[in-house]
Structure 1
Amino acid sequence: MSLTRALIDLRPLRTSRLFRWLLFGRTVSTLGSFMTVVTVMFQVWDSTRSPVWSGAVGLAQALPMIGVGLFAGAWVDRADRRRIYLLGNAGQAACSLLLAVQGFVGHVPVVVVLALVALQASFGALGAPAAGVFVPRLLPKDQVAAGVALNQASGQAMMLVGPAVAGVVLGWWGVGVCYLLDAASFGVSFACAFGLPALPPVGGASRAGLGGVVDGLRFLTRHRAVRGALLTDLAATVLSMPLSLFPLVNAERIGGNPRTLGLFLSALAVGGIVATAFSGPVTRFGRPGPVMLAASAVWGGALAAFGLTHGVWSSLLLLAVAGGADALAVLARTTIVQTCTPDALLGRVTAAETVVGQAGPQLGNLRAGAVAAWGGAAAALVSGGLLCLAAVGAVAASTPEFRRGAADANGVGAVDAAGAREGGRAASAAG
């Protein structure tokens, strides 16, 4: 295999001018978002010196995404996705401006900061399902996986760069300037998406309100490949998410050195970037189901081995392997959702995927902490990794459609045509 074919597939950049602009805008806004994540954490801790308030930042970001997401997905499947995405960007930019104002004013109650963070997350929950339809609408189906990989690569790169840039800006100019830069980044994203054509749902509009949400959930339960992808993701995150254990592992094995703790997090990110950079064979393979199963199994196995390892370098290597496997699993999951879901349902299904991606890791960190409190970090990591392997095996054994990774041009085919038709009849949704 040539090096060119091993590297990330760049065909979407040549195929679609609109995709190029969207990717640029998304990259800039993701940079700003990671800067704001760091800035909010810094401001809340600086104001309160309380780990409880610091933990509340995560809840303020996650709960609106979960609570608003499914209903936002139903709205996305009733209207022009372009306009909803632009509305989400404008709302997030406005929230960043308000955060900047309070940052310059100073001495604002922390509950006000968290309320603005929650409002911004709500606008993000509105824009995410709309953004989920762009790649399959702008690219040929055989390039959807490559488009997802490019989006993922830009996000991972900004996850490394954003916190570092935030640290520099905070040190020189303070929290207000960080929030202003985030607002400007959403402005760039808005401008890059403004030239999109109208993107109404294809195949009929969703039912309004709760009925539309139920139709989307019904599709998820009946489309076995999509259901298998989300269950596999939950198995990996709920059963074996390791992040909450890093401080304990660092204290038990390496003396609590904060630089090593940072390396744990960096190793996951570096593994993800390397795996995505060399994802060309995976995206051209055309069978994301087996890729996700294999990657999720590697994730669980690497974390179980990490639980038994005491050397610094071997630990970092295993975390890099886990990070790479996680990146490929997320790439496969998103590809399955975007290629196997009818356009009229894509907003709701993408919203459900976003909820899974938000809730799973939070529950996984909670599980890991509870087990570690009882039996230590090694018990939590090893048991979680083994449970993940067992759950992935169960999904593979019970879902041959997902294991084969096959779908027809409409994403329905033999998987569950009846379930898709019912969802299509009610709606005829995406991070």
Structure 2
Amino acid sequence: MRILDKLVIDIDPLRTSREFRYIFVARVVSIFGLGFLVVAIPLQMYDLTGSTAHVAAVATVLGLTTFGATFVGGALADRCDRRRVIAIARGTAGVFFAVLAVNSFLPEPQVWVIYLCAVVDGACGGISATALMAVTPSLIPRDKLAAAGALMALTADLGSMIGPALGGVVIALGGVGANYTLAAITTAITTFCITRLPSLPPPNEVSESPLRSVAGGFRFAIGDRVIGGLLLAGFVSMLLAGWAVLIPEYAAEVLGVGPAAMGLLYAAPAIGAVVGSLTSGWTGTVRRSGLAVFLAMLISAAGLVGAGAVGSVIVAVAGLLAHGFGEAVADILRFATVQKYTPDEYHGRIAGVWTAQVTAGASVGAFVAGVVAAVVPVHLALTVYGATGLVATVLLWAILPALRRLDESRTPAPVA
């Protein structure tokens, strides 16, 4: 029974912290609501313009705005009441989701409105996600941060699987207008949950300018051997986030399968990630967390190597499952360790860097995957792509001794 307890996801943060429960519910509702938009915006844009370029452009606008806003959110979270920052950002996003709904019900919906809402949504999403991450360490004990990270990761993984599917059903039944309306309603619920939190002011008054504040966060991250090493490890995860780019050609040319099997390939990493989150109870007791991060990264990269090594659908699915599992475990461990070793006055700005990595990951990974696809035969692309992650992980292990040797039983985290 004790072994089972160590494997099963630890839900103590939900049992012991009322404030964390509000955060968790807000995040769950928000992720599923945003999953509706993942389907609705590109579908409506293509229906209005008949142009894939417009679909790509609105996605780029959303991504770039979110990326830039993460740093703004980090500075705000270290200067202002974090509850107010999150509530205002999510409330503003909800208003513009309602604008998208109204626009969709017009006789002639306007494309420029979609672009405008993408800018606002990206900005609000980047700010709120960063401030939300900065809040978490103040709500639960430090020894439960890995459990909190696992719960947050689980919501994201389930949302990425279920949210878009539900969004497609809603569009089929009621059109994109119904989809946008539900997104606005779920965001209103999220905002209400956030307002139920107590006031969450930053620990210290910051007198320097926002730009200097952001620069100070970067200086801290670069100068701290543990935090800097973990952020470098996150960069390797970014490099491997573009695996989806390689799937269509690999499935068609090497595996010889159609859309149904391709859908399974796309779903496999998310399924592996959910398994990783659900069996993450042990992560809260890890003392050599740096070494554990490297091992999980190796599993993630090796999964991609295996997925492309044989040319078998079963092996490819198994490899992608392993990739998702390793990535989830590495993210949970990195999240907990970053939170433990970041002084509270820097939590917002470090959260901004973390969120920026997540936001940019798919784009950076897609670029790397595209380069690999251009220079490597299709039957080797996944294997070579995963091998780059293996090599990068081994190099990080060699050049980051402070992270490799980190022993939390001997190196106490700073007091917030």
- Mark yes or no: TM-score above 0.5: yes
SS at match of 2:414: coil
Q: Distance in 1 between matches of 2:131 and 2:339?
A: 12
Alpha-carbon distance, 1:239 to partner:
5.2
SS at match of 1:173: helix
| 1:307 and 1:377 in contact (8 A); partners too | no
Residue in 1 that maps onto 2:259? 258
Cα distance per residue 1:15-71 (max 9 Å; x no partner): 111111221121011100011111112112222333222222331221012222213
Residue in 2 that maps onto 1:419? none
Match runs of 1:104-143 below 5 Å: 104-143=105-144
One-letter code aligned to 1:225? V
Match runs of 1:163-178 below 5 Å: 163-178=164-179
Alpha-carbon distance, 1:113 to partner:
0.9
Residue in 2 that maps onto 1:312? 313
Residue in 2 that maps onto 1:45? 46
| 2:66 and 2:126 in contact (8 A); partners too | yes
Task: Check 1:406–1:98 CA distance in 2 against 1; reply closer, same or farther (3 A cut).
Answer: farther
Match runs of 1:141-220 below 5 Å: 141-205=142-206, 207-220=208-221
Cα distance per residue 1:309-343 (max 9 Å; x no partner): 21111111110111111111111221122111111
Residue in 2 that maps onto 1:340? 341
Residue in 1 that maps onto 2:395? 394
Alpha-carbon distance, 1:138 to partner:
0.5
Q: Distance in 1 between matches of 2:407 and 2:89?
A: 34
Whether 2:396 is the aligned partner of 1:411: answer: no
Residue in 1 that maps onto 2:104? 103
| 2:147 and 2:283 in contact (8 A); partners too | no
Unaligned runs of 5+ in 2: none
Whether 2:48 is the aligned partner of 1:56: answer: no
One-letter code aligned to 2:227? V
Q: Distance in 2 between matches of 1:143 and 1:283?
A: 6
Task: Check 1:178–1:319 CA distance in 2 against 1; reply closer, same or farther (3 A cut).
Answer: same
Whether 2:346 is the aligned partner of 1:381: answer: no
One-letter code aligned to 1:260? A
Residue in 2 that maps onto 1:420? none
One-letter code aligned to 1:411? P
Q: Distance in 1 between matches of 2:111 and 2:4?
A: 51
Residue in 2 that maps onto 1:356? 357
Whether 2:32 is the aligned partner of 1:13: answer: no
Judge which range, 155-164 or 47-56, deviates more: 47-56
Judge which range, 23-32 or 278-287, deviates more: 278-287
Task: Check 1:78–1:163 CA distance in 2 against 1; reply closer, same or farther (3 A cut).
Answer: same
Judge which range, 333-342 or 78-87, deviates more: 333-342
SS at match of 1:162: helix
Alpha-carbon distance, 1:80 to partner:
0.7
SS at match of 1:205: coil
Residue in 2 that maps onto 1:281? 282
Residue in 1 that maps onto 2:68? 67
Task: Check 1:102–1:288 CA distance in 2 against 1; reply closer, same or farther (3 A cut).
Answer: farther
TM-score (norm 1): 0.91
| 1:78 and 1:207 in contact (8 A); partners too | no
Match runs of 1:81-100 below 5 Å: 81-100=82-101
Cα distance per residue 1:357-406 (max 9 Å; x no partner): 12232111112112212323344322222221121112112212211334
Alpha-carbon distance, 1:123 to partner:
0.8
One-letter code aligned to 2:179? C
Task: Check 1:106–1:56 CA distance in 2 against 1; reply closer, same or farther (3 A cut).
Answer: farther
Q: Distance in 1 between matches of 2:412 and 2:94?
A: 38
| 1:295 and 1:328 in contact (8 A); partners too | yes
Task: Check 1:239–1:130 CA distance in 2 against 1; reply closer, same or farther (3 A cut).
Answer: closer
Residue in 1 that maps onto 2:32? 31
| 2:22 and 2:197 in contact (8 A); partners too | no
Match runs of 1:364-379 below 5 Å: 364-379=365-380
Q: Distance in 2 between matches of 1:293 and 1:107?
A: 53
Q: Distance in 2 between matches of 1:100 and 1:317?
A: 40
Alpha-carbon distance, 1:189 to partner:
1.0
| 2:221 and 2:227 in contact (8 A); partners too | yes
Residue in 1 that maps onto 2:295? 294
Q: Distance in 1 between matches of 2:375 and 2:116?
A: 35
Count of aligned pairs between the two proteins: 413
| 1:73 and 1:129 in contact (8 A); partners too | yes
Alpha-carbon distance, 1:256 to partner:
5.2
Task: Check 1:27–1:239 CA distance in 2 against 1; reply closer, same or farther (3 A cut).
Answer: closer
Task: Check 1:170–1:400 CA distance in 2 against 1; reply closer, same or farther (3 A cut).
Answer: same
Task: Check 1:40–1:240 CA distance in 2 against 1; reply closer, same or farther (3 A cut).
Answer: closer
Q: Distance in 2 between matches of 1:367 and 1:334?
A: 24
Q: Distance in 2 between matches of 1:104 and 1:405?
A: 56
SS at match of 2:308: helix
Q: Distance in 2 between matches of 1:44 and 1:176?
A: 13
Q: Distance in 2 between matches of 1:284 and 1:200?
A: 30
One-letter code aligned to 1:144? L
Unaligned runs of 5+ in 1: 413-427
Between the aligned residues of both structures, percent identity stands at 31
| 1:240 and 1:381 in contact (8 A); partners too | no
Residue in 2 that maps onto 1:423? none
Q: Distance in 2 between matches of 1:25 and 1:314?
A: 37
